[in-house]
Amino acid sequence: MANRKPEDIRSIAVVGHGGAGKTSLTEAMLFDSGTITRMGRVEDKNTVSDFDQEEQKRSISINSSLCSFEYKGRTLHVLDTPGFADFVGEQRSSMRVADSCLFAVNGNSGVEVQTLKLWEFAADFKSAVMFYVSRLDKENASFENAVNDIQASISKNALPLYLPIGSEASFTGVVNILTGKSYTYKGGGSKDFAEGDVPPDMANAVTSAREALIEKVVEADDELMMRYLDGEDLPPDDILGAVRKAVASRILFPIIPGSSVGNIGVFQIMDAIADYLPSPLDMTPRGAAKDDAEVEIAPDIDAPFTALCFKIMVDPYVGKLSFVRVFSGKLTSDQTIYNVNRGEEERISSFRILRGKEGTETKEIITGDIIAIPKLDSTVVGDTLSVKGQTARFPPIQFPRPVYSVAVTPKSRADEDKLGNAVRKILDEDKTLDFVKHPETSDSILSGMGDMHLDIAMSRIKDRYKVDLDTGTPKVPYRETIKKTAKAQGKYKKQTGGRGQYGDVHFELSPREKGSGVTFEDKVVGGVVPKNFIPAAEKGLREASAKGVIAGYPAVDFNCAIFDGSYHDVDSSEMAFKIAASMAFKKAFAEAAPILMEPIVNMAVMVPEDYVGDVMGDFNSRRGRIMGVDPDGKMQVVKAQCPQAETFRYAIILRSMTSGRGSFTMEFSHYEEVPAEIAKKIIEAAERERKEEED
């Protein structure tokens, strides 16, 4: 890949719903380009891009895999992305750096839920888009139905660039509607095909499709449109140039039929990538921040080097690999690289052009390249890389917040010692994971986008870092409070033969507003409790309130006034008053109408209109309150408040309820009183747990 030029580079994220054939297409492109000599199969676990152990075990893509290769004088950087919603972080980061997206749409299933979500990402990033209708050699596959679905669900500007020859088992090739050339394949995965004219029975369909395409294409060029409206026959070169312009400006989204496993139409897809998708020089400048001002990074090879790290991978042999996209300038491997976000320089050992897990080294990277750099110690996903003296940095990659959590417990002391390091490295790789130690429940909580996501994360933690974890449902951070005022005395008196222990306090507890915390008030008069013991009494109160009275949860939102007490000249001590304060608190709290409080979360659930009733009914069964339903494009957003205790498996339930078409966000709102019948069960469970610990 020596002597590359930015105008000859194409960067493509291959995206689509799970099972649409993205990995098979990437494999076929590598084979047809001559990059590999044998085409692997997902079922045989031998494809170039699905090289991870978990991917091979599950026969699905989990990571975005970079495959760079040459085709007809072009350098193609192809990012094969996962299709399942659990791995949305991999999808989004790859689409952020690629100039184009190739959407794979299953010829049987048409447009599926993840395709729609990815289309929104492509619109956010202003990516050029082509559609590939796959698996057209399979039973019940229909190019016409898929095209109609794309146009109805995504955009009327999606139009065929090729039409299929035959259908299902008789699908043998494609016809270019602009050139009028047909390509009939030998079949069986062979590269061989015969070039010919349009089959007679397809002449009318090709003519009609060509007219529709040209009518859309000329919208990208005012001069060409005037000539077209004047009835002039447009030269093929003018049309081809206008197609490229229309694709880059998102006026046109070409559709191409094919079969990856059958290797039908793949050459034509690569031709369309090379001829019609934009080079980095065709893209608009990228926004960045510099000294609190907004600037633009133009795709200029002569500008200062600027790149974005969009992915981290830990290779068992090479170590840490930082995947970067170069947006401007060039850099050689004998230079140092400057991390703008960290303010640190890092030495470069090499640049690696990747093809799955295999890589070749190159001495120079240029505008438009997507490559991996080994052993950048301080660099993380989202960091801007440049050269010393440059301060412009790209906005961070926006990742969705985790929606599914489990509590994890190391199986042994050795696992506990290694857990922190293992989690830190996993989080560096995957920005849609989160790990926290909950301050109230003491749970170690691992959060992600779904059950499969967390299952794979824990498998990696075990396989790579030898840390074995047990999992469970996270504890709900309940709290306790009071509804009325109560007084109580706490007296601690102990005689041991020598100096004794004596402390005596009278407390009055009164409720406060939600969220106002715990306050302590000194109302002692006459010195019945000396001033030097008041802080000890407060400390005893706060320590006791951290583990409440009715179920052992933190007691909150009350005022404690110490108003009376007594002391002994010899036997009183700070410890005695701490113990007395704890006793007084427990007695007064039990008399002050104590209640259990639970966290309530705000939820926004985005679903197609057909599922709104099901979602609302499900919330009612979870003690939720519907706050409203708002339209959002073709979707509806159900807003609700729900007890956190009812939401831990909601990601799985919503996916099942909506056939994977729903998504949601969730954030903490406030605390509310737990209904009496549910509070009783929680208190009984806490009592059982306490007895088990004592035994």
| Euclidean distance between CA atoms 650 and 647, whole angstroms | 5
Model confidence at 219: pLDDT above 70: yes
DSSP annotation string for 154-182: T-TTEEESEEEES-GGG--EEEETTTTEE
| pLDDT score for 516 | 92
Give one DSSP letter per residue of 592-615, joined into a string. Answer: S-EEEEEEEEEEEEEEEGGGHHHH
* Virtual torsion, Cα 239, 245, 249, 252, nearest 10 deg: 30
317 vs 244, higher pLDDT: 244
pLDDT recorded at residue 695: 65
Q: Residue range 471-493: average pLDDT?
A: 95
Distance of CA 205 to the CA centre of its chain: 42
* Burial of residue 623 (number of CB atoms within 10 Å: 0-12, 13-18, 19+): middle
3-state secondary structure 385-425: EECCCCCCECCCCCCCCCCEEEEEEECCHHHHHHHHHHHHH
Nearest to 576 by CA among 658, 499, 676: 499
Paired residues of 307 in beta bridges = 326, 385
Contact 528, 564 (CB under 8 A): yes
Query: If residue 678 lies in a helix (H) or strand (E), which one and from where to where?
Result: helix 676-694
Residue type for position 663: S
**3-state DSSP percent of the chain in helix, strand and coil, to 5:** 30, 35, 35
What is the residue-wise DSSP string for 552-569? Answer: SPPB-SEEEEEEEEE--T
Confidence of residue 2 (pLDDT cuts 50, 70, 90): low
Q: How much is the mean pLDDT over the chain?
A: 93
Q: What is the DSSP letter of 264?
A: B
Annotate 262-295 with b (16+ C-beta within 10 A) or e (fewer).
bbbbbbbbbbbbbebbbbbbbbeebebeeeeeee
Q: Who's near 621: CB < 8 A, 6+ residues apart?
A: none
Q: Tell me the pTM.
A: 0.87
The pLDDT confidence band at residue 662, using thresholds 50, 70 and 90, is confident
- pLDDT range class, residue 228, cuts 50, 70, 90: confident
pLDDT tens column, 82-101 = 999 899 999 999 999 999 99
Q: What pLDDT shows up at residue 689?
A: 85
Q: Which tens digits make up the pLDDT trace of 148-175?
A: 999 999 999 999 999 999 999 999 999 9
Residues facing 68 on adjacent strands = 77
- pLDDT digits over 415-461, tens only? 888 998 899 889 988 999 999 999 888 899 999 999 999 999 999 99
pLDDT at 247: 96
Q: What is the pLDDT of residue 337?
A: 95
- Give per-residue pLDDT as tens, 606-644: 998 899 999 999 999 999 999 999 998 778 999 999 999
Question: What is the per-residue pLDDT across 230-255, written as a single tens digit (0 to 9) for each?
Answer: 888 888 888 888 999 999 999 999 99
Residue 443 structure tokens: 């749970």
Which pLDDT band holds residue 497 (cuts at 50, 70, 90)?
low
Helix (H), strand (E) at residue 93: helix 88-97
1 pLDDT more than 70: no
Q: Who's near 27: CB < 8 A, 6+ residues apart?
A: 36, 39, 40, 41, 47, 48, 49, 260
DSSP 270: H
Within 10 Å of residue 7's Cβ, how many Cβ atoms? 13
Domains along the sequence of the chain with CATH: 6-282 (3.40.50.300), 291-386 (2.40.30.10), 407-472 (3.30.70.870), 479-592 (3.30.230.10), 597-677 (3.30.70.240)
Each residue's pLDDT tens digit, 161-216:
999 999 999 999 999 999 999 999 998 889 999 999 999 999 999 999 999 999 99
The set of residues, in sequence order, having a beta carbon less than 8 Å from that of 557 and lying 6+ positions away, is 481, 511, 512, 513, 514, 515, 516, 517, 518
Task: Calculate mean pLDDT across residues 688-695.
Answer: 79
Per-residue pLDDT at 227 exceeds 70: yes
Interval 641-656: pLDDT, tens: 999 999 999 999 998 9
Mean pLDDT of 119-126: 93
pLDDT in tens, 12-27: 999 999 889 999 999 9
